[in-house]
Structures are given as C-alpha cells and as structure tokens.
Amino acid sequence: MRGNPLRRLVELLVLVSFIIVGAVVVLLGMPSSETADGELKLTPARFWRELAGNAVQCELCFRNCTIPEGQRGYCRVRENRGGKLYTLVYGRAAGFDLATIEKEPMYHVLPGHQNLGVFTAGCNFRCSFCHNWHVATKSPEEVRSLTLPPEELVGMALDKGCRSISFTINEPTVFYEYMYDTAAIAREKGLITLFHTNGAINREPLRELLRHMDAVCVDLKGFTGQFFRKTSFSQLEPVLETLKTVKESGVWFEIVNLVIPTLNDDPTQTREMCRWIKENLGEHVPVHFNRFFPAYRLTRVPPTPIETLERARQIAIEEGLRYVTIGNVPGHEFNSTYCPECNNTLVKRVHFSVLENNIEGGTCRYCGHRIPGVWN
C-alpha cells in the first residue's frame, strides 16, 4: 500500500489541507481590536482571586497561575491590571472556520450540517505538534483580529445558514468569557453550541459553561503523564477529570486521540486508555483515532501509518467501545460510522463530507437500534 500512487496523492492532499488551514488563520486577520492609543481592550475576567501585593491567582484552568501586577498568565491573554484580572481577547476573533460539523470532529451531532467555528489568540498548552500554532502560540498583539461582540457573532452564524457555533482551533478555555456569553445567546436563538478543548479547564468554570453547551469534543492527547509533560508541558489528570465532569453533566461529548508515531502509539497504552474510557465514561462515547502529520516543532516524525490507526481502532473495539472511527485518512472505510448492532453503515463519510445518513429519529434505519447523540 505504501507504494500506491493514489494513496500518496491522498496523503499529500491531506497535508496540504493542514497547510491551507494555517494560512487561513493568517489571511483571516482583520482590523485589530485596539483602542486609539494602541492599548488592547480590557474586559473583566471570571474565576480568579486577589492575593497580597496586588497579585492575583487565575482559577480558570489547571495551571492556577499566580500573576503579579502588570503581568499575564501562561496563556498570554489574561492580564493583571491594578490587582484585577482582565481578558484581552473578549470579542476579539482571530478568524473563523466555516465547515461541516465533521471537521471538529463531531460525528453524532446532526451529521453534515454547517458549523461556524471561532477562535482567538492564546492557549494554555505548548504542544510541539500543534497544527494551529499560528494563533495558539501567539499573544493578542501578534494576531490581527476582528472586533465581533457575541451578538454579532451569533448573527453571523445565522446569516450563513449555520446550525451551530463551535469554539475551536486555539484552546477556547482561554477565551472563556467570550465563549460563555456567545453560547448563552446562541442557544436562545436556536443554535447548537459546542467547544473543542484540550480538557484542562477547572471543574467550577467547566460546570458553569456546560449549562450553555450542547456538545463537547475533548482531545485526549495521550494516556501517560510523561507524554503530556514532554509534548505539551501539561498534565494528564486534569483532562481525565474534565471527561468525568462532562459525563456527569449529561452533555454529549466525543473524544479525539491524535496518534503520533513513537510518542503515544504504544498498543498497551492504547488498550489502557480504551479500558479507562469504557469503565469511567461508558461504551457509547465516540472515539476518533486521528492521523498525525508533521507540524510546528515536530516535523521529523513521519505521518502515522494507517495500519497503526487500524490497530488502535481494533483495540478499542476489543475493549468494548462501540463507536470508533479513523480520521485524517480520506476514503478509509472507518471514517464512516457503523451500527454496533447490525453493522450496517449509519453515516458514510469521505473526510469531512457526508455521503449517506441512515440515522432516523436517533435510531438505525435498518434495525431500529437507538444511536446516542444530538439529533434535533
């Protein structure tokens, strides 16, 4: 298969698509949301507390940054001014991603509908393999942006015929206030709301946010603390706690695992991860094993062999997970979703395109098996 010219062409097209996405982040830059004197606009942040000496402690994510006056947190977008914490990216959209919901990926939420993704600068991880480093590794001053309040963002989604808004691309936790206010308005207008996250948000802000969310896509980047420390300067435990909290809330969620050769592709670790998912989250949570392509600071690692993804999927099925797909391999049979009861095709896909949808009223049209998800 490695010598197949068609396969090599498909791989090249997928790699180019990642490059184009990075370019769009830059090209979508709009007039910067700065004041007349060049200062960034300040909006009061949520989830923080005062400390001695005009310092503050941010309590939004697992880092719980202690921030001296005049300094910013690890994410680069939350700043201490005069002993008060402010967000620098409220209503400051660095770009948009208009695509089918499959791109998130979100496979059990109205397949094939148009979704408007929004993002800003900043992130609370430092992933060496980040495909969105153009914005995720930047401070607000380094990214051109469009001033777009929540009401106008919701209006944009409606004008474009979208059925949902997602908060995505960079880590939406860092623009929490913007996401929260937009999601509340969007739901009032009948839009589905979701966010794609690295999962490292603290429990209290997460529970507050979930009141306005219909779905969550969580990146479970690996299953060892060493992997998280080495590749993302982060931790595994907060992500596992987030997954449990989302499960408790009843909000629909799906999991993505980007499989990177030599770093998180060990079959034993994959089996441990799948076993943990079933025991703690249930057998019905969809799991997407996505193919890695060289990016950012991880360019000497080759693309994930397709056989590795197929093996990961097989392990997940053996461990009892019922909805397991393979992503970033256009045309692969397991890019589609199958009924776990009768094995007929529920949703046939090629990459982000839905060719066939056999889910009717939340059930398999062939055998009537109820399929979990968001269907209306």
pLDDT tens-digit series, residues 230-263 = 999 999 999 999 999 999 999 999 999 999 999 9
For residues 16-37, give the mean pLDDT: 41
Q: What is the pLDDT of residue 265?
A: 98
Range 136-144 average pLDDT? 96
Residue 163 has pLDDT above 90, yes or no: yes
Residues 124 and 238 placed together within one structural domain of the fold: yes
pLDDT of residue 41: 86
- Looking at the fold, whether 51 and 200 belong to one and the same domain comes out as no
How many degrees, rounded to 5, is the angle at CA 361 between CA 360 and CA 364? 45
Number of folded domains that form the chain: 2
- Burial degree of 23 (CB within 10 A; 0-12, 13-18, 19+): exposed
- Is 192 within the bounds of a domain? yes
Q: Is 324 domain-assigned?
A: yes
What pLDDT was estimated at residue 37?
40
Of the listed ranges 18-32, 325-339, 346-360, the least confidently predicted one is: 18-32
- Do 359 and 263 share a structural domain? yes
Same domain, 100 and 80: no
**Is residue 200 a part of any domain in this protein?**
yes
Does residue 323 sit in helix, strand or coil? coil
Same domain, 81 and 96: no
Average pLDDT over the chain, rounded to an integer: 92
Q: In this structure, are 344 and 213 located in the same domain?
A: yes
Tell whether 241 and 322 lie within a shared domain: yes
Do 11 and 154 lie in one domain? The reply is yes
* pLDDT at res. 376: 84
Q: How far apart are CA 135 and CA 141, in angstroms?
A: 11
In a domain, 75, yes or no: yes
Shared domain for 75 and 205, answered yes or no, is: no
Flag whether pLDDT at 104 surpasses 80: yes
Range of the domain at 65: 43-87
Q: Residue 37 domain-assigned?
A: no
Tell whether 148 is covered by a domain: yes
- Do 73 and 222 reside in the same domain of the chain? no
Q: How far apart are CA 66 and CA 102, in angstroms?
A: 38
Which residue, 273, 207, 288, is CA-closest to 240? 273
Whether 181 has a pLDDT exceeding 70, the answer reads yes
Residue 139 falls inside a structural domain: yes
Q: Which pTM does this prediction carry?
A: 0.91
222 and 199 inside one domain? yes
Residues 171-187: what's their mean pLDDT? 98
**CATH number of the structural domain spanning residue 122:** 3.20.20.70
Tell which of 87, 118, 152 closes a domain.
87
Q: What is the pLDDT of residue 11?
A: 47
Residue appearing with tokens 């507390």:
49
Q: Are residues 226 and 270 in the same domain?
A: yes
Q: Looking at residue 197, what is its pLDDT?
A: 98
pLDDT tops 90 at residue 1: no
Does 73 reside within a domain? yes
Structure confidence at residue 19 (pLDDT):
40
pLDDT of residue 372: 98
